[in-house]
Chains A and B, each alone.
Chain A
Amino acid sequence: MAITPPENRLWWNEPIERVEIGWIVVAFLWGLFMFFFMIAWHFIGGQNLSTETYRITPAAYEQKVADFAEKYQVGDEMGVPIVRPPVGEDVYLLGRLWEWWPILELKKDQSYRFHLSSVDWQHGFSLQPVNINISVHPGYEQIITFTPTEAGEYGIACNEFCGIGHHLMTGRIRVVE
């Protein structure tokens, strides 16, 4: 039994049951397939997270986002600026206790270099209803090239716990035709 020493002292010389060998082969091949499929998606798929990242101080990032918002602001909602960057321009979004700032207005089917960082604690960028989820760190500026494929109103929730106002931390991206 499994709770007593093996009867055969040289247990590694035991024959392996056929069904076990079959299953090990199937499971191993499936593992290999899953491994290579992740690599393949970098060539055949359109959804791969960029690894372009720079160190930046929170203060410097905050300044960059403020300059960006001021330059392209087209209005405001509840005191939050609405920013419409020209197509192809770099886009900045920052997370802080407890908001995603500013509100962005993007064009459908256009690519944007999207900068993402936090100026205080770790936050989670969770874009709804598409459910794209990315971690955001203070001190690290991550750049992702996004191409929105559907027009509409998108909400951003924070999904990395960041203290007592965590559930109030929301933002907005508008995608227009």
Chain B
Amino acid sequence: MTAIDASYAGAAAAGNFRTCRYTGLKVEASAQSLIKANAVAAVVFLAIGGVMGLLVALTRWPAVHLLPSDWFYLVLTGHGANVLLFWIIFFEIAVLYFASAILLGSRLATPRIAWAGFWLMIVGALMTNVAVFQGDSSVMFTSYPPMQAAPHFYLGLIIFAVGALVGVGVFFGTLVIAHGERTYEGSIPLVTFGALTAAIIAVFTLASGAIILIPTFLWSVGLISEMDPLLYKVIWWGMGHSSQQINVAAHVSVWYAIGALTIGAKPLSEKVSRSAFLLYILFLQLASAHHLLADPGMSASWKIVNTSYLMYLAVLGSMIHGLTVPGALEAAQRRNGYTKGAFEWLRKAPWGNPAFAGMFLSLVMFGFIGGISGVVLGTEQLNLLMHNTIYVPGHFHGTVVTGTTLAFMAMTYYVLPLIFQRDIIWPKLARIQPYLFGLGAAGISLFMMGAGTLGVPRRHWDMSFTDAILQFELPSGGFLMMGLNGLSAVIASAGGILYILITVGTVLWGKRLDKGEAPLTFPLHKRAATVAEYGSHATVKLPGTIILVTIFFVSFVLYYFVNWKYLSELWLMR
């Protein structure tokens, strides 16, 4: 991207700070190196976990059926740990440091402790990987007892979580320092507010993880004789589901950040966007019950209250962002001069900028694929239709891959010039990367959801049941869907490999940007010099956004009732 739009700002500020030549932000040296370290670690674990994901998809592609069964279960376990935990949480720690130290122009709190946290995370991640590759810990990401993994599988996860908790603590410390040293005026920026939401959720998520993983570890070394499988599930999902809400808060922050950096988007109103983040903090911990809807022993009222996050108030938070993010983009584009019709702002958006393209695809697909399917899957009775079928991974690939991973990939295209100070190599390939990955990931999600609707089980090596004693056949549509899922995984992998090559290549060989020519100012794409009054009331009618959310809402309602129709045709049960 030839310096995204080449330029230069000037001498570094005094002390450990430099001034970012693009944004004018003060960047402290230790914050910069920690962001670099965490981002690099994230990408390495994405590469490992991504290869495993491709192997899983190629095995579940009936015509290919690549791996033998024991390897399949091993690789599937590793895939979950590496991409769902290690890639995402390393990147989130980088986001937290960026949203605190960099955006607030502050020094990072206790860099040494932050490094200690980083190394704990590395040690934990490696330990768990070693346990998985040794072959006796193929217990999947959920590791439900009485199935047992090697002790260092659990210990690795615990150490990793402690390291992540240290990183979260450093983030809080940095907020305190920035406030105390008055490095910013007034309130923290919205992106930092979103990151703070993610960090608060992370604290009680990691606490749940500790409450369950520590006894599980003790059980695996023989100090505790029995684990109750149901109790384990209840507490484990206190970590398992809310960890995904950290991701949601983090990637929604990233959406706002990219919108601001690329086209100068401001929130329509700070009050609404911030309240939506608050809803996450207040209501999402209940969501862990989503995973227990088909389990015995819990009352229907407990399930209803919990699965609806108490009347869907956390879903409300996401639906609000689903309007305010595209609304902010439309408002900004209209200010930038694209005012014709309902959709000129969208047609003439910077689609050639991989950060923007990745962010927008993430926004749309997270809403339509991950969001709608999540609510349907998490409805007390509808859950019967798809519980533990491959619909479930279909849903969470919609949230975590098309949502979080794609948003983080998009953010990388700004992290590279702003933090690593390198120009992105292969700009043309970078331009297609988010489309390739996004298209593939959307295919993975949709085809797995389709296969799950037809009854294909999840975490299952042989959907044809060839060697089973009592054989039966799943519908042929399920086989077709799993084939298309394999094809989509190949496309997504091409996008993933491209991402790895571009980021690694840029870090190693990208043109250095710390010296150069004329200044460049963010946002990158701003035509109108004057910006309207803060907030939206002075600026906008948002016909495009209204049409988009209407389409979203109609799809949501239709899909919801289609599933009730399916449910009503099942055997009667009570």
Contact = CB atoms under 8 A, between A and B. Distances in A.
Contact of A2 (B23, B187, B266, B312): B266
A170 B256 CA distance: 48
A77 B274 contact: no
Contacts of A122: 144, 146-147, 229
Nearest to B540: A17
Interface in B431-459: 453-455, 457-459
B11 interface: no
Contacts of B385: 131-133
Interface string B39-75: 0000000000000000000000000000001100100
Interface in A9-30: 9, 11-17, 19-20, 23-24, 26-28, 30
B462 interface: yes
Interface stretch (A45-53, A59-67, A84-92): A45-53
Contacts of A35: 304, 308, 311-312
Contact of B271 (A12, A49, A130): A12
A1 B265 contact: yes
A68 interface: no
Interface string B369-388: 00000010001110111111
Interface residues of A, number: 96
Contacts of A28: 316
A57 B191 CA distance: 52
A83 interface: no
A5 B187 contact: yes
Given A2-B267, A3-B257, A130-B570, A153 B472 contact: yes
Q: Which of B188, B274, B469, B556 has the most CB of A within 10 A?
A: B469
Interface centre among A39, A79, A153 (most CB of B within 10 A): A39
A42 interface: yes
B270 A14 contact: yes
B328 interface: yes
A171 B465 CA distance: 11
B258 to A, nearest CB: 9
Among A28, A157, A162, chain B packs the most CB atoms within 10 A around the CB of A157
B187 A47 contact: no
A121 B145 CA distance: 7
Interface in B536-571: 536-537, 540, 542, 545-546, 549, 553, 556-557, 560, 564, 567-568, 570-571
Interface string A90-122: 000000000110010000000100001000111
B460 A3 contact: no
A19 B536 CA distance: 10
A144 B300 CA distance: 14
A15 B304 contact: no
B323 A16 contact: no
Interface string B197-230: 0000000000000000000000000000000111
B10 to A, nearest CB: 20
Q: How many of chain B's residues touch chain A, expressed as a range?
A: 35 or more
Given A2-B260, A139-B228, A129 B70 contact: no
Q: How would you classify the secondary structure of chain A's contact residues: helix, strand, loop or mixed? A: mixed
Contacts of A133: 294, 383-389
B530 interface: no
Contact of B568 (A47, A120, A161): A47
A6 B534 contact: yes
Given A2-B189, A159-B388, 12 more contacts: A5-B188, A20-B324, A24-B272, A27-B320, A38-B381, A50-B574, A124-B388, A129-B455, A133-B388, A159-B458, A163-B138, A168-B465
26 contacts: A1-B260, A2-B267, A8-B270, A9-B187, A11-B271, A16-B269, A20-B323, A23-B320, A24-B272, A35-B311, A38-B304, A38-B308, A39-B304, A45-B381, A45-B567, A47-B572, A50-B574, A53-B296, A78-B470, A121-B144, A128-B455, A128-B472, A132-B384, A136-B296, A138-B229, A150-B571
Interface of B: 23, 69-70, 73, 103, 138-140, 144, 146-147, 184-191, 228-230, 256-257, 259-261, 264-272, 274, 292-300, 304, 307-308, 311-313, 315-316, 319-320, 323-324, 327-328, 375, 379-381, 383-389, 453-455, 457-463, 465, 467-475, 523, 534-537, 540, 542, 545-546, 549, 553, 556-557, 560, 564, 567-568, 570-574
